Amino acid sequence: MKCFFHIIIVFCTFINCNTSQNKPPIPAQEKLYTYGNKTPDGIGKYYQGREIAHMMGPVGIDWLNRTERDKEENVTIAIDSMEIKPGMVVADIGAGSGYYSFRIARKLGSGKVYAVEVQDEMINALKAEKQQLQDKIVEIVKGDAVSVNLPGSSIDLAIMVDVYHELEYPHEILQSIKKALKSGGKILLVEYRGEDPSIPIKPLHKMTVTQANKEMSANGFTLYRKGDFLPIQHFLMYEIEK
């Protein structure tokens, strides 16, 4: 674990130089954001009092796919706890290299996984993995900074694994996901625990439950389930407020 944490510290510093996103027109809701002091790991843009972190770039693909990740983050238990059933439609928002997407696809057996990404290098990695696995369940979708580009009322579950804190337009993305959720659909955030200073992740790459709840509530979501079973991350599932 000591070596793992050292890698994360270096990694979360190094990735800041790779933040390529599509740049759509600035949304009208820009007034929801404020701008201020820019820290080394942030973009100087704030939402609900939280500075948004730099996006992880393709330099992190090997780290995302590291063989020890399941043991370090208990990915198997995280997926087993998502209430996934055969035939469901799941959206992995900020899918990266597809580490979660293809594992969820295997668990589904039938149904669909939308692997949503904004970075071309990550999309190329997803395509290569899909071809290698001869996968028929994962559908790769090009999103952008303000939309996940999914059909309305099309998904049962949307997940963001260590992604939400990096969204340049969190309000717009959450609203886009809300439109894509079926009735009764859920959204899951997996984030490094911001309350725990012993977890040596840069502060902007962690989130507290209080902050996550605040931002989700501002977008019409309420906490449905809080899991405390992951070693270093929160497992926070939300539903649309009734």
Distances, alpha carbon 139 to alpha carbons 10, 12, 52, 156, in Å? 32, 28, 28, 15
Region 47-51 average pLDDT: 98
pLDDT the model gives residue 9: 40
Taking alpha carbons only, the member of 71, 67, 77, 90 closest to residue 137 is 90
Region 6-25 average pLDDT: 43
Pinpoint the alpha helices (H) of the chain: 2-14, 61-64, 69-73, 75-80, 99-108, 120-133, 170-180, 209-217
Q: How far apart are CA 153 and CA 185, in angstroms?
A: 9
CA atoms within 13 A on the CB side of 126: 28
pLDDT band at 3 (very low <50, low <70, confident <90, very high): very low
Comparing 21 with 147, which gets the higher pLDDT? 147
* Sheet of strand 34-35, all strands in order from the earlier edge strand to the far edge: 34-35, 42-47, 50-53
- Is residue 166 within 8 A of residue 172, CB to CB? The reply is no
Taking alpha carbons only, the member of 230, 109, 104 closest to residue 162 is 230
Q: Where are the domains of the chain?
A: 2-240
pLDDT in tens, 84-95: 999 999 999 999
pLDDT band at 7 (very low <50, low <70, confident <90, very high): very low
pLDDT the model gives residue 56: 78
What architecture does CATH give domain 2-240?
3-Layer(aba) Sandwich (3.40)
Q: Burial, 241: exposed, middle or buried (Cβ in 10 Å; 0-12, 13-18, 19+)? A: exposed
Residue 241, SS3 per DSSP: coil
pLDDT the model gives residue 11: 41
In degrees and rounded to multiples of 5, residue 129 shows phi and psi of -65, -40
In degrees and rounded to multiples of 5, residue 148 shows phi and psi of -85, -5
pLDDT in tens, 137-179: 999 999 999 999 999 999 999 999 999 999 999 999 999 999 9
Taking alpha carbons only, the member of 41, 33, 32 closest to residue 166 is 41
| Bridge partner residues of 237 (DSSP) | 188, 225
